[in-house]
């Protein structure tokens, strides 16, 4: 099994800096969403905000990806490519931001959320809120000594009990100075299996939750992943650091996300207190997430 990197306190500070930038970028996107905006408009917003911060949008040219952010609408599971496509009331859209800071040779922060455009139908609300809670449920498991399978099991049992399915083909991933590294973090699985989490590891949790079956198909643009049955899909993602007492959510937000966390039906968990943890004397303490 591939070994998993653990970060020094200096590295961790760099991960905090890029995590905050990615979180702020997602907040900015939420502020701009409304019927009539195109996914290409979102791409421009993310690209310019990222460059102005002295960072680089990780998706651009990553394995040939042509844009600076992923925009996945309705039955698109992930890796949707921004285009001159107008969003309409009733759509849901996942916006997945990955920033690299500094722009050259920097650290990666990866976070996504599903947003509501106008008024969503009931199934769109359901899958989005279950995806939001699935991420919270997964984060709550993270502490030194827990296993990767514990995270997947917690998410799968929660989402399936709510009548949804968990996408199998894409997982969370180790992240630091590399975009996608070991360990792989499946959002389904068996408790007590998989690698043991250790203090200083950084990885994403990013459950993709479908209203229908978990099976996916790929469009011939080589990127866009869709549900095979055409059912709606939603996703939330955070970049997480394992700490002595649990974990720190490196991409936590400083305020509620507009058009997602501010709606009256949003099922917000403990992460949504939006209170940043107190300044830390060392990397061994923390408050957020578990
Ligand atoms: N941000 C995605 C993830 O969560 C990866 C996007 S790769 C891209 O891992 F090339 F599509 F941008
Ligand atoms: Co990711
Ligand atoms: Co991502």
- Distance (angstroms) between ligand 2 centre and the Cα of 186 equals 12
CA distance 180 to 189: 20
Question: Rounded to whole angstroms, how far apart are CA atoms 54 and 66?
Answer: 20
The whole-angstrom separation of Cα 9 and Cα 18 is 15
Q: 226 alpha carbon to ligand 3 midpoint, in Å?
A: 16
Sign of CA dihedral 213, 215, 219, 221: positive
Say how many Å lie between the CA of residue 238 and the centre of ligand 2.
Answer: 8
* pLDDT for position 75: 98
59 lines ligand 1 (CB under 6 A): yes
Q: What pLDDT, on a 0 to 100 scale, did the predictor assign at position 275?
A: 61
65 CA closest ligand 1 atom index: 10
Query: Whose structure tokens read 């996945």?
Result: 72
Query: Counting atoms of ligand 1 from 1, which one is nearest the CA of 59?
Result: 12
* Ramachandran bin of 173, using left for φ above 0, alpha for ψ from -120 to 50, beta for the remaining angles: beta
In tens digits, the chain (290 residues) has pLDDT values of 568 999 999 999 999 999 999 999 999 999 999 999 999 999 999 999 999 999 999 999 999 999 999 999 999 999 999 999 999 999 999 999 999 999 999 999 999 999 999 999 999 999 999 999 999 999 999 999 999 999 999 999 999 999 999 999 999 999 999 999 999 999 999 999 999 999 999 999 999 999 999 999 999 999 999 999 999 999 999 999 999 999 999 999 999 999 999 999 999 988 887 866 555 555 444 444 33
Q: Are strands 225-227 and 76-78 parallel, antiparallel or unpaired?
A: antiparallel
Nearest CA to ligand 1 atom 3: 110
SS3 state at 211: coil
207's CB contacts (< 8 A; 6+ apart) are 131, 134, 135, 138, 155, 159, 166, 167, 187, 235, 236
In this predicted structure, what is the pLDDT of residue 20? 98
pTM: 0.95
Residue ranges of domains in the chain, CATH in brackets = 9-249 (3.90.230.10)
At 199, give phi and psi (nearest 5°): -50, 135
Helices (H), 82-215: 122-139, 148-161
Q: Helices 39-52 & 9-32, crossing angle to 10 degrees?
A: 140
**162 CA to middle of ligand 3, Å?**
24
Going by alpha carbons, the residue nearest to atom 7 of ligand 1 is 59
- Any atom of ligand 1 within 6 Å of the Cβ of 179: no
Q: Which ligand is nearest to the CA of 58?
A: 1
75 lines ligand 1 (CB under 6 A): no
| For helices 148-161 and 122-139, angle between their N-to-C axes, nearest 10 degrees | 150
| Atom 2, ligand 1: residue with shortest CA distance | 96
All residues with CB under 5 Å from ion ligand 3: 96, 110, 112, 237
Return the closest-CA partner of residue 209 out of 248, 163, 151: 163
Ligand nearest to the CA of 111: 3
Q: Does the beta carbon of 69 lie inside 6 Å of ligand 1? A: no
Q: How far is the CA of 177 from the centre of ligand 1 (A)?
A: 15
Distance 250 CA to ligand 2 centre (A): 13
């Amino acid at each position: 099994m591939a070994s998993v990197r653990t970060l020094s306190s200096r590295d961790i500070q760099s991960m905090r800096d890029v995590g905050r930038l990615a979180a702020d970028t997602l907040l900015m996107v939420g502020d701009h969403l409304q019927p009539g905006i195109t996914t290409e408009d979102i791409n421009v917003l993310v690209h310019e905000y990222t460059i102005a911060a002295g960072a680089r949008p990780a998706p651009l040219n990553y394995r040939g990806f042509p844009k600076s952010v992923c925009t996945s609408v309705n039955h698109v599971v992930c890796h949707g490519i921004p285009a001159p496509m107008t969003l309409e009331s009733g759509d849901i859209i996942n916006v997945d931001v990955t920033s690299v800071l500094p722009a050259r040779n920097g650290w990666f922060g990866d976070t996504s959320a599903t947003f509501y455009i106008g008024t969503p139908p009931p199934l769109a609300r359901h899958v989005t809120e279950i995806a939001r809670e699935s991420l919270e449920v997964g984060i709550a498991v993270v502490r030194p000594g827990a296993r990767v399978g514990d995270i997947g099991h917690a998410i799968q049992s929660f989402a399936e009990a709510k009548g949804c399915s968990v996408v199998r083909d894409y997982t969370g991933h180790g992240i630091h100075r590399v975009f996608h590294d070991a360990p792989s973090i499946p959002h389904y699985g068996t408790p007590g299996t998989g690698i043991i989490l250790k203090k200083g590891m950084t990885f994403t949790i990013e459950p993709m939750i479908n209203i229908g079956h978990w099976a996916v198909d790929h469009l011939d643009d080589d990127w866009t992943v869709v549900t095979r049955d055409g059912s709606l899909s939603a996703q939330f993602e955070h970049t997480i650091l394992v700490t002595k007492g649990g974990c720190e959510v490196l991409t936590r937000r400083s305020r509620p996300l507009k058009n997602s966390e501010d709606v009256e039906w949003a099922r917000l968990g403990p992460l949504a207190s939006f209170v940043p943890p107190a300044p830390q004397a060392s990397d061994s303490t923390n408050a957020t997430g578990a």
